[in-house]
Chain A
Amino acid sequence: MSAAVAALVALGFGVIAVRRRSHATVLVALQGLILGVTAISREGGESGAMAVAGAILIIRAAAIPLLLLLARRRTPERTLVAPTTSVATRLLVATAVVLVAVAATPPLGIADRVAEHGAVALVCLGIATVVVRRPALLQLLGILVAENGVYLLAIAVSGGVPAAIELGVLFDLVLVVTVAGAFAGKIHERVGSGDTDLLRGLRD
């Protein structure tokens, strides 16, 4: 579990650091893959639960990244959106946020303390990604990283979360990605770029 958590957090740092949207999408897909595999390995062979975990793996690791890649293809950037901050600064901010969050995390009632720290770190990393990245698609990927943190907490709960809730969350996630993808497309169509900072002009 510790290795999986470390990999997830490292991938989260990757999302905040990489320049290209496609690369970041692949990193989030990898997070989904790790989470899916971890979930299946913890199910212990019960067929119904395995089926749910399998569905989650497919959607998180394949379907959602595919939706995102399609969205990216529909919104080609003529030039890369200039990042507001350098990679080093972004990583520094992310590290500071993660350190504060992990240090401040109180016991959340889950036996696995590493999973608790990892989940809080991922949630904060995800939100920090939205803060420091300007393109709409990368901000959406930040939300997915945060969501992956919540899911990590769910699979770390002993006995697991009921299948109905897991599937409900999954449905919400697909909905969020679809709607956000559509909005990203619309923003691109109107302002010619996925740069959300351009939307500030809409403020009255």
Chain B
Amino acid sequence: MGAAETAAVLGAVLLLAGAIAPLVGLPGGIGLCLQAGGIGLAGAVGVAVLCGAAPIGSGFHGDLTPALGVDGLSGFFLTTIAIVALPALAYGREYLRGAPRERLLVALGGLFLLSLGGVVTARDPTTFLAAWELMTLAPAAAILARRTDSEARHVVFVYLAVTHLGGTGVWICVLTLAHYGALANPGAMAEGGVAAQTVVIVGALVGFGTKAGLMPLHAWLPRAHPVAPSHFSALMSGVMVKVAIYGLVRVLFEWAGPVPLWVGLTLLAVGLLSALGGVIFALVQRDLKRLLAFSSIENVGIVALGLGAALVFLWEGDRTWAAFAFAAALLHVLSHAVFKGLLFLVAGSIERTVGSLHLDRLGGLLGRMPWTGGAFLVGAAAIAGVPPLNGFASEWLTLQALVHAAFGPSLGTGLAAAVAAAGLAATAALALFCFVKAAGLVLLGAPRGPRAAEATDPGPAMRLAPFFLAACCVGLAAVPGLLLPALVKLAPGAPAIGAHPSLELPGTGSLPSPWLLLGIVVLSAVAWRVRGERRAAPVPAWACGQEEEAALQWTSAGFTKPLVLVLQAVLRPRREVEVTRHGGLVASVSYRGEVPHRFDTHVYRPLRSSALAAAALVRRIQSGSVRAYAGYLLALVLAMLVLLRVGAIG
């Protein structure tokens, strides 16, 4: 057994020990340390394999014998898991200390990491599906371990219902692939006929798409992420949805490939809907975690756009650009994992300190919580795609791929890619708007509540974990080109490209990320130097003669009002204004407004009503009479006999 194999086995054993340790009475801290050691080793193995070391463990097979292994793609996702999990575990050490059911939450965290690692390293259908189900159940248990109120129970019910209904797609897809032997022999699916391949692809799109949070299968995501413990939210939003992307990539680019054109176009359409829909709904949220959850949908949409472009390029036979689009999607997977993990950890710190994540109760936290606020600022800038941070690098690469596809040989795919490119550009602008709002309301201005006014940074672990992820954002932004060759190599039939610190693309110029970053640092230093000792003179703000108070600042609804007005026909906001008068004078004005989630009202509610109506219809035959049931049985036996006799069956 080589060093990599030993490290992988040791990592898995440590993770398992870390999950079991709290259950046998050991302190939660020991469990978290063991888990960190385990996932750290697994991540190191992932990095080694991604950077060119030989794949380890077993290859894929369709038997029932459990098998594990790490190849380049698994290595990339293991690395992503480790990068988010390590700070999340360190954060959890402090976040969970003294919390009710601390040990259980630590154990569930370990189980969750095991299942995440299990999905990306599984080499047989049994292990894959078992790890997949465990990955669904562990966060549900963690939510219930933390909260048992009716809201949390309802959220868990919706989460389990939607992800399990979607999960049937994963089962159908994986078992069909195993049946045709396509797990071990990619290409076997194409010989299995169009119908079988279509079943696999639709199963994958529904199953993995649901877990990834692609619209319109996202109903669980904005509900479940906000109620989970924060380090769990970071893993769910940062990593779990990416593991679903892993499944989608495996099926569409490897096991079921080569796929027909409609798959690429479907991914482009779903990606565009998710990206635009996600960011628009994120904009109108008033709870920070819910805003971040919708923003995850947006980013998964951007990843889907990259994957869709890659499939379109593959169909056109342009393997070079297919590889770049594929690498763009993977780079965005990593980027989003890092900054979304960061933002959820920061949200946890703010919630712990201020007691609320309602945007209209926060404010002024940059000065009061400089570590947390600073990390939040970097994360918000990165997710908003502010150059040259990592979010910009991956979005730029995706946009380049889409623009290149728009000039492709086929008019239809060209038009689709052009629309997608325009949609991505709009998404980027709206994301900037969204995170200007979030950062402004959370970090700047005066505190909007007494607890926000007294907020201070949490302890070292909860300070340093987001800081580490912020450093990762900057690091990834500095040299994305060094990572690109490793990601390009993972695409099917990819060409070899050289490593440059900048993002170098054939025919469309390059993104000199390191020089941009260096330029910004130098300019900032010069500006700092030039400023010298001068400071802005604080003067009272002019508030039209009113007394200046925190309530006069921007509110969440006020900031996004122009956009809501423009999109009124789509969003259909509800407003209620109540004016109370005394003696002809206005004594008070109360305002209530909300933007309903129209997918709930227009998609899920009718679906639920139809399902309930169908259930009521079926319930009529559930008479409760033993004799009636025996009657159904008798009718069935006679019908079967008759069908056999006439040769309809058998």
Contacts and interface: CB of A to CB of B under 8 A. Distances in A.
A131 B627 contact: yes
A197 B638 contact: no
B630 A130 contact: yes
B645 A104 contact: yes
B623 A127 contact: no
Interface in B635-650: 637-638, 641-642, 644-645, 650
A101 B641 contact: yes
A97 interface: yes
A127 B627 contact: no
Contacts of A106: 641, 644-645, 650
A38 interface: no
How big is chain A's contact interface, by range? Answer: 20 to 34
Given A127-B633, A128-B634, A203 B622 contact: yes
B495 interface: no
B642 A127 contact: no
A105 interface: yes
Contacts, number: 60
A111 B32 CA distance: 70
A124 interface: yes
Interface in A116-140: 120, 123-124, 127-128, 130-134, 139
A123, A131, A197: most-surrounded residue (chain B CB, <10 A): A131
A23 B627 CA distance: 21
A203 B638 contact: no
B634 A97 contact: yes
B626 interface: yes
Nearest to B642: A104
Main secondary structure of the interface of B (DSSP, over half): helix
Contacts of A128: 634
A201 B623 CA distance: 10
B624 A203 contact: yes
A196 interface: yes
Contacts of B641: 100-101, 104-106, 120
Contact of B627 (A97, A105, A197): A197
Interface string B524-535: 000000000000
Contacts of B650: 106
A123 B640 CA distance: 13
B34 to A, nearest CB: 48
Interface string B160-176: 00000000000000000
A88 interface: no
A101 B631 contact: no
B410 interface: no
A190 interface: no
A199 interface: yes
A200 B634 contact: no
B624 A123 contact: no
B642 to A, nearest CB: 5
A124 B642 CA distance: 13
Interface in B381-418: none
Q: Looking at chain B, what size class is its interface with the partner chain?
A: 10 to 19
A202 interface: yes
A139 B626 contact: yes
B639 to A, nearest CB: 9
Most buried by B among A127, A128, A132, A133: A127
Contacts of B626: 130, 139, 196, 199
Contacts of A127: 630, 633-634, 637
Contacts of A101: 637-638, 641
Which of B623, B625, B630 has the most chain A CB atoms closer than 10 A to its own CB?
Answer: B630
Contacts of A105: 641, 645
B642 A132 contact: no
Contacts of B637: 101, 123-124, 127
B594 to A, nearest CB: 36
Nearest to A108: B644
Contacts of A199: 624-626
B560 to A, nearest CB: 46
Contacts of B642: 100, 104
A20 B630 CA distance: 21
A109 B644 CA distance: 13
B309 to A, nearest CB: 53
Contact of B644 (A103, A104, A124): A104
A170 B644 CA distance: 29
Contacts of B645: 103-106
Residue among B626, B633, B634, B638 with the highest chain A CB neighbour number at 10 A? B634
B624 A202 contact: yes
Interface of A: 97, 100-101, 103-106, 120, 123-124, 127-128, 130-134, 139, 142, 196-197, 199-203
27 contacts: A100-B641, A100-B642, A101-B637, A101-B638, A103-B645, A105-B641, A106-B641, A106-B650, A120-B641, A123-B637, A124-B637, A124-B638, A127-B633, A128-B634, A130-B626, A130-B630, A131-B627, A132-B627, A139-B626, A139-B627, A139-B630, A142-B630, A197-B625, A197-B627, A200-B623, A200-B625, A203-B624
Shortest beta-carbon contacts, A-B, top 3? A203-B624, A130-B630, A104-B641
